[in-house]
A and B are shown apart, each in its own frame.
Chain A
Amino acid sequence: MAITPPTERIWWKEPIAKVELIWIVIAFTWGLVMFFMMIYWHGAGQQNLSNEAYKTTPEQYAAKANAVVEAHTVRDEAGYPVVHPPSGSDVYLIARLWQWWPILELEKGQTYRVHMSSMDWQHGFSLQPTNINISVHPGYDMVVTMTPDQSGEFGIVCNEFCGIGHHMMIGKIYVVE
């Protein structure tokens, strides 16, 4: 019994019941399947995070973001510039208390190098309703190469708690045909 010492002092030499052994083998094999599934998806799957990231500072990052915003703003919405960058280009998204800036307008089926970094605290990029969730840190410029495959209006919700205005931190991405 589990609350008393085992009767056989040399418990590690006892034979294993067959049913237990079979289960151990199945469970171990399943573990291997799950392990190799992650590696397999890096080759065969479409949804993988890049390992591309750079150290940066809020000032450096904001300067790059501002340059793109100045070059490619197409209109204004609720005080936010709406940026329509050329396909394949570097797009900068700023996370700060408590907004995602600017609004992006992307084309369906085109590919963009979307950069993300925070100006202050940690934030969470949560693109809805497609449901992509990525952490955004201050001091790190993370590059995610995205290919929107649906058109419409998408919300960026902040899903990393960032203080009292956290629930007001909403951004937008438009995907046009």
Chain B
Amino acid sequence: MATTTEFRTCPSTGLKVHLQAEKLIKANAVAAVVFLAVGGLFGLMVALTRWPAVHLLPAEWFYLVLTGHGLDILLVWIIFFEMAVLYFASAILLNSRLAAPTVAWVAFWMMLIGAITVNVAVLGGNSSVMFTSYVPMKAEPHFYAGLLLFAVGALIGCFVFFGTLVVAKAEKTYQGSIPLVTFGALTAAIIAVFTISSGAIILIPTLLWSLDIISHIDTLLYKTIWWAMGHSSQQINVSAHVAVWYCIIGMVLGARTLSEKVSRLAFLMYILFLQLASAHHLLVEPGISSEWKIFNTSYAMYLAVLGSMIHGMTIPGSIEAEQRAKGYTNGLFEWLRKAPWGNPAFAGMFLSLILFGFLGGISGVVMGTEQLNLIMHNTLYVPGHFHGTVAAGTTLAFMSITYLLVPLIFRREIMFKKLAQIQPYCFALGVAGISLFMMGAGTLGIARRHWDITFADSILSFEVPGTAFLMLGLNGIFAILAALGGLFYIVVVVGSVFFGRRIGDNEKVMDIPATAAVTQYGSAHTVSIPGTVVLVAVFFTSFVLYYFVNWKYLAEVWPLR
């Protein structure tokens, strides 16, 4: 058993690795992957039930499994992995010891017990209230209690991260400012504090209400505060996975950021404005003024969107600048063609970037526009959007960095290399299809969280367009692809962690091109990134066109005022 101050030196990076921090990273990552497997299986069952020709599960099981899918993926998998990212970005990258490892273990166990409790409540059958658990629909008390325990555990984890930053600064384990990746992780942790506190603020009265101690909770109030957790927690993901993107391009390519100032400013925009997004869920609610909706839904004039659009240029730009410096200077795109596409960490990261921007990003802004929400609210367009952000963006980014964490932190060689190579492509193709076809069905007005679009058991009848059946069928097929990608990931990771070849104490596993010379950004103003400019122009054109096309769709519905 390692004492709290034992270190080893990583032969690949030269970083001092605190053994307790390393153990905590392993524990959180393993818990994350277990819940990804469970939640992913639930997700496949959801997609196969919504595929009308298959219609796998009966109604009560469908709603149960859908509740479990949302909780296990959106909350448990992602936040456990984020804890691993936070400890990595603080203790490991800063050469420091982790502050209060015992407290971090308490946080871990609270999260684990909370997550298991929630799953037990959901599988018990009386808590099929969906991820959102809107009152006055009631779940069992241990559903809310489990969520609370998980949330408070995560909050404690965030404070261990902050504590580690203080320790590292006080013990001078690094020179100058914290690295960009740590800065991004800090952004995520700050947003997490806001988010998790909002969750606790609304879940405590809800728990008391489920125990009949409080008699009434206002539905609009619940929705407003709940989404300060529900949506803002997706903003933790954005900050965390953008930090992960920077981390991967640094470790795989040695790419430096075009300018530290711009990238850090973009993260700062997240801290200042992302929390306003609770409004995205309140655009068609009664009793809320248009002024409030417009200001909040646009993150105060789209300043947080600006942050993401900046990262959307600086990340491919950093890759291009680095590749061109290595000599890949032919034409517009030689730097991209000759990128390490056979390295699953890089391939997954780049696919995650593209899909997050084109699918998740654009659709999110369009759907979050006050009036446009009228033609999309609660249709399948919504899950179409967030499978572009959370599945194609965050989940794929986290999968990608696992291919670096396994050799560096678990010190095991990746097994099944061929399978690992195709994994990101398979998963990316699957989730891209899921995202697109759900958005397609949503545009046709198909409701989300709905068991039967034929309405066979209802008194009054209604027929949805035939194209919707096609969309849901295609969604099912691509969900199978995504599930295969997920399965490959689990096989590779679990196989490598338990049966992979052990990496020796002095064995270098990857050449991280980190030398002081290349980290200088003094030449930032002279770099030329024409390929990135073309990519950004394509993105921007699609964004503008798609935005106005949706205004045209809106103009065709009944006049309302």
Contacts and interface: CB of A to CB of B under 8 A. Distances in A.
Contacts of A103: 460
B496 to A, nearest CB: 22
Interface centre among A4, A23, A37 (most CB of B within 10 A): A4
Contact of A167 (B365, B369, B452): B452
A6 B262 CA distance: 13
B459 A150 contact: no
Contact of B459 (A14, A27, A79): A79
The contact size tier of chain A is 35 or more
A14 B310 contact: no
Nearest to B313: A23
Interface stretch (B101-109, B157-165, B196-204, B375-383): B375-383
Interface in A149-175: 149-150, 155, 157-164, 166-172
B505 interface: no
Interface in B291-349: 294, 298, 301-303, 305-306, 309-310, 313-314, 317-318
B286 A124 contact: no
B59 A164 contact: yes
Interface string A1-45: 111111111011111111110011011101110110111011001
At the interface, is chain A mostly helix, strand, loop or mixed?
A: mixed
A157 B447 contact: yes
B284 A27 contact: no
A2 B257 contact: yes
Contacts of A50: 560-561
Nearest to B515: A1
A6 B451 contact: no
Contact of A4 (B179, B287, B318): B179
A31 B220 contact: no
Contacts of B302: 30-32, 34-35
Contact of A31 (B294, B306, B465, B519): B306
Contact of B261 (A12, A130, A167): A12
B139 to A, nearest CB: 12
A96 interface: no
Given A5-B179, A34-B302, A147 B294 contact: no
Interface centre among A132, A158, A169, A172 (most CB of B within 10 A): A132
B137 interface: yes
B380 to A, nearest CB: 9
Contacts of B555: 45-47
B561 A167 contact: no
A159 B260 CA distance: 45
Given A7-B521, A133-B377, A170-B461, A45 B137 contact: no
Interface in A79-96: 79-80
A86 B286 CA distance: 24
Given A2-B249, A16-B259, A132 B560 contact: yes
A27 B365 CA distance: 13
A45 to B, nearest CB: 7
A78 interface: yes
Contact of A17 (B93, B134, B258, B376): B258
B264 A11 contact: yes
At the interface, is chain B mostly helix, strand, loop or mixed?
A: loop
Contacts of A18: 525
B560 A17 contact: no
Contact of A155 (B298, B371, B462): B462
A49 interface: yes
Contact of A23 (B294, B309, B457): B309
B554 to A, nearest CB: 5
B23 interface: no
A38 B298 contact: yes
Interface stretch (B74-82, B169-177, B388-396, B430-438): B169-177
Contacts of A137: 219-220, 285-286
Contacts of B128: 164
B511 to A, nearest CB: 13
A168 B557 contact: no
A170 B451 contact: no
B255 interface: yes
Interface stretch (A59-67, A68-76, A138-146): A138-146
Contacts of A49: 283-284, 290, 371, 374, 560-561
A140 B220 contact: yes
A124 B448 CA distance: 11
B447 A53 contact: no
Contacts of A24: 262, 306, 310
A133 B376 contact: yes
B219 A139 contact: yes
A27 B306 contact: yes
B379 A7 contact: no
A168 B444 CA distance: 19
Contact of B371 (A16, A45, A116, A124): A45
A47 B374 contact: yes
9 contacts: A2-B256, A3-B181, A34-B302, A39-B294, A51-B288, A121-B134, A133-B373, A157-B445, A172-B460
Of all A-B residue pairs in the complex, the 5 with the closest CB atoms, nearest first, are A31-B302, A155-B462, A142-B286, A159-B447, A53-B286
Interface of A: 1-9, 11-20, 23-24, 26-28, 30-32, 34-35, 37-39, 41-42, 45-51, 53, 78-80, 99, 103, 116, 120-122, 124, 126-135, 137-142, 144-150, 155, 157-164, 166-172
Given A2-B247, A49-B290, A133-B379, 11 more contacts: A6-B177, A7-B521, A12-B261, A14-B521, A41-B370, A41-B551, A126-B379, A131-B444, A140-B287, A167-B457, A170-B455
